[in-house]
Amino acid sequence: MPKHSLETRKSTERMVDYDRHSSAQQSIISSHDARIRELARQVGRGGREMRVMDYGCGPGTSAIIAVRPALEVFRARFHDAPLVVCHADQPGNDWNALFGLVYGPTGYHAGIDNVRTEASIGSFYERMADDSSVDLATCFAASHWLSRAVRLQSPGTVWFADLQGDARQEMAELARRDWMNFLRLRARELKPGGFLFVSTLGSIPDGAERNGAAASGRGIYRALQVVAESMARDGLIDADVLDGFVFSLWFPTAEEARSPIEGDDDLLLSFEIVTIEVTPAPHNPTDFFAGLSSDPEKYANAYTGYIRAFADSTLRTQLLAPSATGPQSEDGLADEFYRRLHDLYQTRLSEFAFELWHLTVILRKM
C-alpha cells in the first residue's frame, strides 16, 4: 500500500440525519450570539448591500442561527439596505433541507425583511465569493475538516491526535497548509473592515497526552477505534484497511491557529488578530451528553446518533466499503458497527465521553 492516497469524495459529504443530531454544533454557535452581534455593530456600510457569508454551513438549523444575529443587527442599523446571506458548502450538502428551513416558520425570512438568500457551491479551500464582497463571514464547526481525505499508515488509531512519527508530521503539515489557504482566500473575499469569525473544535496543552495536547472528542474517536478493532478481530473489517484509515481532520491548539498568521507576511498585512483562544464549552465541557447519563439507553442513543450524523460518510467511504468484499454488505457492516458502538456507550458510559473545547478565531480585515 502506498504511504498515502487521496480520496475523491470530500469527507463531509452525505452526513446522516445531521440536523436532529447537531446539538453540539448548535451549542457552539449559540454560545457566540453576543459576540457576533458586537462584530456586526462594528462593521461599517461599505456598499449598497450588507453581505453575510457562512462557510461550511451544513444542512440544518445551525445554518440559521449562525447568520441571524448579524442580520438582526444589520437590519436595525441600516434600515434601507438590502441584506444578503450566502450559504457556502459542498455539492453533497442537503440543500433542499437547508432552504426548507431558511424559508420555513423558524427561518430568518420569517422575521427579517429585504433579505436575499444565495448559495455558493464548492469547497471553502477554494474561492467562494467575489473579491471584497463580504461584510461578515462565519465558519462554525467546519474548518477542522481538511481539504482532502488522506490514507496514512496509522495502526492503532483512527484520528490525528494519537498519530506518531511521519504520519503525524504529514497530517500536521497538511492541516497547517489548509488553514493558511483558508485564511488567504477569506482575506480576498472580505471587505476592508469586515470580520471573519471561526469557531470549531480545539485542543489544549496536556502533558499526559501522547502528543502533549488534549483534543476535543478524544473519547469519541477512541471509542471508534475500539469498535473498529473488534470488527477487525472478528474478520468483518479488513485489518490492512483499518491500519491505513484516519479521519481527515485536525482540532488546533490556539498556538497552531495563531502561528501561521504571525509567521506569514501576507496574512499579517491582511488581518488584525482580535481573538484567538481555546476555551471549555460553556455547558457540560467534560461530557456533552452528561445530562442523559442516568439512563444508559438514552445516553448510548445520543452518542450513537451524534457520531453517525457526522462520521457515517467517512466510515463508509474509507473503511466499511473497502472491507465489504465478502458476504457482508456495506450497509450490513455499518449496522453492525453502530450496534457495537451503542453497546460500548451503554455499558461503559462516560469512559468515552465527549469532551469539548471551543477554538475561537476572530480576525478583522485590514
Tell me the per-residue pLDDT of 198-247, one tens digit each, with 9 for 90 and over. 999 999 999 999 999 999 999 999 999 999 999 999 999 999 999 999 99
CA-CA-CA-CA torsion sign (109, 115, 120, 124): negative
Asked if the structure places residue 247 within a domain, the reply is yes
Asked if the structure places residue 310 within a domain, the reply is yes
Q: In which band, very low, low, confident or very high, does the pLDDT at 26 lie, cut at 50, 70 and 90?
A: confident
End-to-end C-alpha distance for the chain, whole angstroms: 47
What pLDDT was estimated at residue 11?
Answer: 37
**Amino acid in position 121:** I
Cβ atoms of residues 360 and 268 within 8 Å = no
Q: Is 272 exposed, middle or buried (0-12, 13-18, 19+ CB in 10 A)?
A: exposed
pLDDT tens digit sequence for 270-279: 999 999 999 9
- Which has the closest alpha carbon to 344: 203, 223, 204? 223
| CA dist., res. 299 & res. 306, Å (int) | 11
| CA dist., res. 199 & res. 201, Å (int) | 7
What pLDDT was estimated at residue 328?
Answer: 77
Average pLDDT over residues 71-90: 98
| CA dist., res. 268 & res. 262, Å (int) | 6
What pLDDT was estimated at residue 10?
Answer: 42
Q: In which band, very low, low, confident or very high, does the pLDDT at 248 lie, cut at 50, 70 and 90?
A: very high
* CATH number of the domain within which 275 lies: 3.40.50.150
Structural domain including 264 reads 6-365
- Which has the closest alpha carbon to 358: 267, 252, 255? 252
Domain count for the chain: 1
What pLDDT was estimated at residue 30?
Answer: 87
Question: What's the whole-model pTM score?
Answer: 0.93
What pLDDT was estimated at residue 353?
Answer: 98
pLDDT tens digit sequence for 249-288: 999 999 999 999 999 999 999 999 999 999 999 999 999 9
What pLDDT was estimated at residue 8?
Answer: 38
Asked if the structure places residue 1 within a domain, the reply is no
Average pLDDT of every residue of the chain: 93
Q: In which band, very low, low, confident or very high, does the pLDDT at 60 lie, cut at 50, 70 and 90?
A: confident
**Amino acid in position 94:** D
**Amino acid in position 31:** S
3-class SS string, the chain: CCCCCEECCCCCCCCCCCHHHCHHHHHHHHCCHHHHHHHHHHCCCCCCCEEEEEECCCCCCHHHHHHHHHHHHHHHHCCCCCEEEEEEECCCCCHHHHHHHHCCCCCHHHCCCCEEEEEEECCCCCCCCCCCCEEEEEEECCCCECCCEECCCCCCCCCHHHCCHHHHHHHHHHHHHHHHHHHHHHHHHEEEEEEEEEEEECEEECCCCCCCEEECCHHHHHHHHHHHHHHHHCCCCCHHHHHCCCCCECCCCHHHHHHHHHCCHHHHHHEEEEEEEEEECCCCCCCCCHHHCCCHHHHHHHHHHHHHHHHHHHHHHHHHHHHCCCCCCHHHHHHHHHHHHHHHHHHHHHHHCCCCEEEEEEEEEC
Tell me the CB-side half-sphere exposure of residue 358, using CA atoms within 13 A. 27
Supply angle C-alpha 101, 357, 74, rounded to 5: 40
Q: In which band, very low, low, confident or very high, does the pLDDT at 305 lie, cut at 50, 70 and 90?
A: very high
| CA dist., res. 220 & res. 290, Å (int) | 14
- Which has the closest alpha carbon to 12: 312, 346, 271, 366? 312
Average pLDDT over residues 133-152: 96
Average pLDDT over residues 103-112: 96
Could you count the other beta carbons within 10 Å of the beta carbon of residue 120? 18
